[in-house]
């Protein structure tokens, strides 16, 4: 059993269920699982394979859970569990992972995992069940306990609004992390209101001369005809990749500067939404700072407007490819707001979509955004 995790001192202590008498040895079970029909599962939170392992033994497994395990859990936890049990088989192979989540769904009260891994499985193979504590907002903070898979072991924990956990990446190519997992159901717990993150500060575009674009952006993207072709493709596909966007000399200098200082990065979470490293603006070298201000400037918003056809500036856009590009007189259009960060992506980094990802303004009207990324040191 795993206790609720609320701070670093409340470390979850798993309790193993008495070993079940296997009808086949560990090697036989793993081999059979690999040959069973299985369905790959992949989304932005997990990647594994869920197998149809229960064709011959699902009734026996359910009978065991209902007749033996359920009464024991009722007595041990004091939770009024129903005779409703879920079960699924999951096969995690090399690089498979399940990112941080809380398992909470209507009626789920106790989550369980039964391990059918190779008996030689060890910590360096990955695939650990990692349990998180929480911060003052009830969001996952740090891993405080990791459970290494063990053949014929049964792990369970109470499902609560703070029962955050993950399955770490499987690091072995020669073994399979095979499990039967699911939930015991009971009366639902009250769930607190979803935590709303403070949105990043948004800025009005900086006032800079139009000529600053020629100092940074490759000339081909300042050509009106090229802009027209890019805009046509973007309006059709809603996305586009523009190679060699910055002038080569500037790009190489930026790559060099970003590699110089390793102490500018800080990790940003929470883990159920992201695990990334973000540069601290006050520690950037002068050239990356200058580049950052370019991306948040009025001329750059004007350029993006010409490349996409979106109204990202208070100036009226003339998108006729036969006319010269110039800043037109200001119109009554509301200027855009912008925000930008420098991210460092390393092994284990991720961001997740969630219901709170989109924002609304004060009038409850949806705000749409243009997401732009420029990559450095990816060679």
CATH classification of the domain holding 36: 2.60.120.620
299-325: per-residue pLDDT in tens?
999 999 999 998 887 765 454 545 444
> Are 175 and 247 in the same domain?
no
- Answer whether residue 373 is part of any domain: no
Does the predicted model carry a pTM greater than 0.75? yes
- Answer whether residue 319 is part of any domain: yes
- Answer whether residue 21 is part of any domain: no
> Are 318 and 242 in the same domain?
yes
- Answer whether residue 135 is part of any domain: yes
- Answer whether residue 11 is part of any domain: no
> Are 153 and 54 in the same domain?
yes
Looking at the structure of the chain, the number of domains it has is: 2
pLDDT computed for residue 200 by the predictor: 84
> Are 80 and 179 in the same domain?
yes
> Are 294 and 340 in the same domain?
yes
70-128: per-residue pLDDT in tens?
999 999 999 999 999 989 889 999 999 999 999 988 899 999 999 999 999 999 999 99
- Answer whether residue 116 is part of any domain: yes
- Answer whether residue 263 is part of any domain: yes
Q: Which domain holds residue 98?
A: 26-185
- Answer whether residue 250 is part of any domain: yes
pLDDT computed for residue 367 by the predictor: 67
> Are 114 and 178 in the same domain?
yes
> Are 175 and 40 in the same domain?
yes
> Are 37 and 168 in the same domain?
yes
pLDDT computed for residue 33 by the predictor: 46
pLDDT, averaged per 10 consecutive residues of the chain (379 residues), comes to 38 44 46 51 52 58 93 96 91 96 91 97 98 96 97 97 97 97 94 86 90 95 95 96 97 94 89 95 94 95 93 64 49 73 94 66 59 91
pLDDT computed for residue 195 by the predictor: 87
Among candidate residues 163, 47, 167, 50, the one with its CA nearest the CA of residue 108: 163
List of E strands, the chain: 38-42, 46-51, 88-92, 97-101, 108-115, 129-134, 140-147, 154-158, 165-167, 177-185, 265-268, 274-279, 343-344, 350-351
> Are 221 and 115 in the same domain?
no
pLDDT computed for residue 376 by the predictor: 95
> Are 147 and 276 in the same domain?
no
In residues, how long is the chain? 379
Among candidate residues 276, 273, 271, the one with its CA nearest the CA of residue 353: 273
């Amino acid at each position: 059993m795993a206790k609720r995790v609320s701070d670093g001192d409340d470390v979850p202590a798993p309790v193993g269920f008495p070993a079940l008498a296997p009808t086949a040895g560990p090697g036989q079970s793993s081999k059979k699982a690999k040959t069973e029909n299985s369905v790959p599962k992949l989304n932005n939170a997990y990647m594994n394979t869920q197998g149809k392992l229960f064709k011959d033994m699902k009734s026996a497994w359910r009978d065991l859970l209902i007749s033996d395990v359920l009464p024991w859990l009722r007595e041990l936890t004091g939770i009024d569990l129903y005779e409703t049990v879920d079960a699924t088989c999951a096969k995690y192979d090399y690089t498979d992972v399940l990112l941080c989540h809380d398992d909470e769904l209507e009626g789920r009260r106790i989550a369980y995992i039964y391990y059918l891994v190779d008996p030689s499985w060890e910590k360096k193979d990955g695939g650990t069940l990692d349990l998180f504590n929480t911060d003052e907002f009830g969001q996952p903070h740090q891993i405080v306990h990791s459970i290494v898979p063990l053949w014929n072991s049964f792990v369970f924990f109470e499902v609560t609004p703070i029962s955050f956990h993950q399955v770490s990446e499987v690091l072995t190519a020669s073994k399979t992390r095979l499990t039967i997992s699911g939930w015991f159901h009971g009366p639902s717990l009250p769930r607190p209101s979803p935590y709303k993150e403070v949105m990043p500060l948004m800025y009005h575009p900086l006032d800079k001369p139009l000529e600053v674009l020629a100092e940074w952006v490759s000339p081909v993207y300042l050509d009106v005809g090229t802009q027209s072709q890019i805009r046509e493709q973007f309006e059709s596909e809603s996305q586009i990749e523009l190679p060699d966007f910055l002038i080569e000399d500037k790009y190489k200098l930026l790559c060099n500067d970003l590699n110089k200082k390793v102490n500018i990065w800080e990790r940003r979470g929470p883990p159920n939404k992201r695990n990334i490293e973000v540069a601290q603006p006050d520690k950037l070298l002068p050239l990356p700072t200058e580049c950052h201000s370019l991306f948040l400037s009025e001329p750059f918003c004007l350029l993006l407007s010409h490349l996409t056809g979106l109204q990202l500036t208070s100036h009226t856009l003339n998108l006729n490819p036969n006319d010269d590009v110039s800043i037109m007189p200001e119109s009554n259009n509301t200027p855009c707001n912008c925000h930008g960060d420098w991210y460092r992506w390393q092994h284990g980094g991720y961001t997740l979509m969630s219901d709170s990802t989109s924002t609304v303004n004060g009038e409850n009207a949806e705000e749409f955004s243009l997401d732009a990324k420029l990559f450095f040191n990816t060679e």
